[in-house]
Chains A and B, each alone.
Chain A
Amino acid sequence: MTVYNKRKHTLLAYMFFLPFGILLVVFKLIPFVNSVRMVFYKWDVLGTPQFIGLANFTRMFSDRVFLTSLWHTFYFVILTVPPILILSFLIAVLANSKIYGKGFVRSAFYLPYTLTISVVCLTWALLYNPYFGMISKVTKFFGLKTINWLVDPLWAMPAVSITTVWWTMGFSIVLYIAGLQQIPSSYYEAAELDGASSFKKMIFITIPLLKRVHILVIVTQIIASLQIFGQVYIMTAGGPAGKTRTVMQYIYEQGFRYFRMGYAQSMAFIMFLIMLVFAYLQLRLMISSSKEELI
């Protein structure tokens, strides 16, 4: 290319990138800079923001409601990530085995993931109803005690977690199926020649070879679960007695009900720091997994 052409090429490149670049700066980077700035202010929605140094953070760590909501968020992560990891792996193995109607099975397990959170939670709220809900029918059938799921302090968070697992597991199943399809069948054939059982093949071939997928599912699921908001907002509104109030729910209450924007943003900043580690891991995994194969 001549010098003139090269310059033209560069100019064209920047022009192509410009719309995205401007929008990224305006709607992501500037808000991000502001989000960091806001944590040092008492920033109510009316009146001028007041610089208060680190007071938001000292307040936060003596705020029992914040600390319990942080624990509830971690509790939700613990209740959702392992079941999703194990169940989606098992279902993917089943959906990928030699069966008829593979397409139907896959669609069935992915379908809930395409639904909006409101539909999922409003439907499950009725399923959990202790008087007429289907779940109490099932527990009664098995002779178990009827639980008032969303109102019982002990069971509200597990109930929200079950709904979440049902709603989002399809995503991980798809990842696992993609991973399973990349395992060369020669591995299994060799194992069969050695007389390995199905169980042994699973333990010594399938599970170790899918290491990258396991990590990916864990990381993406932790990120998603840390941000839990809608399920709690819709199904329990943080109740009973604050037992399902997660950090995002508390941020919403502080920021958009009481308009304590500075304080709410300080909590959002702590969540950002926690998620940063996982977001970085996810990005690294994505870039490397698209270069190589999934497994």
Chain B
Amino acid sequence: MSLKKYLLTILAIALSLIYLVPLIWMALASFQSQKDILAGKWMPSKWSTDNYRIILQRAKIGTWFVNSLISSSVATIGIVVICTLAAYTVSRMDFPGRRFLYILSLTGFMIPSQAIAIPLYLMVRRVGLVNNLLGIILPALPSSMAVFILSQFMKAIPADYEEAARLDGASELDIMFKIILPMSIPSIITVAVLHFTWIWNDFFWPLIVMTNEKMYTLPVGLVALAGSDVNIRYGPIMAANVMASLPVIVVYLFMQRYLTRGVVLSLR
């Protein structure tokens, strides 16, 4: 029995490491000279940070990073505030039209973002939000997924707490801010982490809305950069990839629990 456990462990760890080979290679290549890469080497013959220096000098990677960071975090905060309010209404309040609003809030699921990308682009362009971070932030705010996850979670909180508070004369706002919201914090973090990574990693929409190099997000900038110059494609781009991935990997390692639960809850 124990032998079986060891063998399975070895198998699982070996497969995991093989699975990570592309990432390991990316990290190693970022320290290699062009010559090493073209020779198909694994280890750099001389560890060098030249690629990082080249990419930081040549590209607006700092600007792209800031653009990604601002759009992802502002949108995430907005989503949390707006969608928490909406989720609270449809899951914890009792009023005429509640069911209608709940179904309305889920209509976003039936409309994939790519199906409305063109009319949305025309609208965003008309109001002058092309090459403006608001062009990324505002359309991201009404997230059906966020309302769905939050309302499912809030629905599961027993009504007893609320009734007891009401008997003590608590107002609706008291109940919301002092009882339901504090109890919903795990689901709020889940929603925040999920949406942050989605917006950070989004490619199609920022590619359309950001046409000025200064306004690119990191994913769009990286691709434009790789396409702009053949010589930069190897080491320097791998260095850029490492820099672009580190924040997400760090967020992931700290928030793993919430993220994987989010996947299960959201089912994408």
Shortest Cβ distance from residue A267 to the other chain B in the assembled complex, whole angstroms: 10
A134, B5: Cβ atoms closer than 8 Å: no
Check if A32 is an interface residue, CB within 8 A of chain B: yes
A152-206 contacts to B, CB under 8 A, are 166, 171, 174-175, 178
In whole angstroms, what is the CA distance A100 to B26 when docked? 27
Interface size on A, residues (CB 8 A): 92
Residue of B nearest to A256 (CB): B208
User: Of B45-53, B54-62, B87-95, which stretch is located at the interface?
Assistant: B87-95
User: Of A52-60, A64-72, A74-82, A224-232, which stretch is located at the interface?
Assistant: A224-232
B89, A294: Cβ atoms closer than 8 Å: no
Q: What mask results when residues 30 to 48 of chain B are scored 1 for a CB within 8 Å of chain A, else 0?
A: 0000000111100000000
A238-295 contacts to B, CB under 8 A, are 248, 251-252, 255-256, 261, 264-265, 268-269, 271-272, 275-276, 279-280, 282-283, 285-286, 289-290, 294
A14 neighbours in B (Cβ, 8 Å): 89, 95, 97
In whole angstroms, what is the CA distance A223 to B113 when docked? 12
A268, B118: Cβ atoms closer than 8 Å: yes
Chain B interface size range: 35 or more
A31, B101: Cβ atoms closer than 8 Å: no
A290, B265: Cβ atoms closer than 8 Å: yes
In whole angstroms, what is the CA distance A248 to B117 when docked? 11
Check if A118 is an interface residue, CB within 8 A of chain B: yes
In whole angstroms, what is the CA distance A223 to B108 when docked? 14
Shortest Cβ distance from residue B179 to the other chain A in the assembled complex, whole angstroms: 15
A271, B256: Cβ atoms closer than 8 Å: no
Given contacts A104-B13, A265-B119, A268-B118, contact A111 B267 (CB under 8 A): no
In whole angstroms, what is the CA distance A233 to B228 when docked? 15
Which single member of A166, A220, A227, A283 contacts B110 (CB below 8 Å)? A283
Shortest Cβ distance from residue A140 to the other chain B in the assembled complex, whole angstroms: 10
Given contacts A28-B107, A109-B16, A133-B40, contact A23 B96 (CB under 8 A): no
Shortest Cβ distance from residue A56 to the other chain B in the assembled complex, whole angstroms: 12
A229, B203: Cβ atoms closer than 8 Å: yes
B38, A178: Cβ atoms closer than 8 Å: no
The B contact surface, by secondary structure, is helix
Residue of A nearest to B156 (CB): A290
Q: What mask results when residues 202 to 245 of chain B are scored 1 for a CB within 8 Å of chain A, else 0?
A: 01100110000000001110110010000001100110010011
A16 neighbours in B (Cβ, 8 Å): 85-86, 88-89, 93
B101 neighbours in A (Cβ, 8 Å): 17, 21
B37 neighbours in A (Cβ, 8 Å): 126, 132
A104, B118: Cβ atoms closer than 8 Å: no
Given contacts A118-B203, A272-B112, A283-B110, contact A24 B142 (CB under 8 A): yes
B8 neighbours in A (Cβ, 8 Å): 94, 97-99
Q: What mask results when residues 98 to 119 of chain B are scored 1 for a CB within 8 Å of chain A, else 0?
A: 1001001111111110111111
- If A105-B12, A112-B19, A280-B110 are given as contacts, then 4 extra A-B residue pairs at C-beta distance below 8 Å, sorted by A number, are A20-B85, A38-B119, A132-B37, A261-B118
Enumerate 11 A-B pairs (CB-CB under 8 Å) in ascending A order.
A97-B8, A109-B19, A112-B23, A114-B201, A114-B248, A114-B249, A118-B203, A118-B220, A131-B38, A256-B121, A275-B115
Chain B contacts to A: CB under 8 angstroms: 5, 8-9, 11-13, 15-17, 19-23, 25-26, 29, 37-40, 81-83, 85-86, 88-90, 93-98, 101, 104-112, 114-123, 138-139, 141-142, 144, 147-148, 152, 172, 197, 200-201, 203-204, 207-208, 218-220, 222-223, 226, 233-234, 237-238, 241, 244-245, 248-249, 251-253, 256, 259-260, 263-265, 267-268
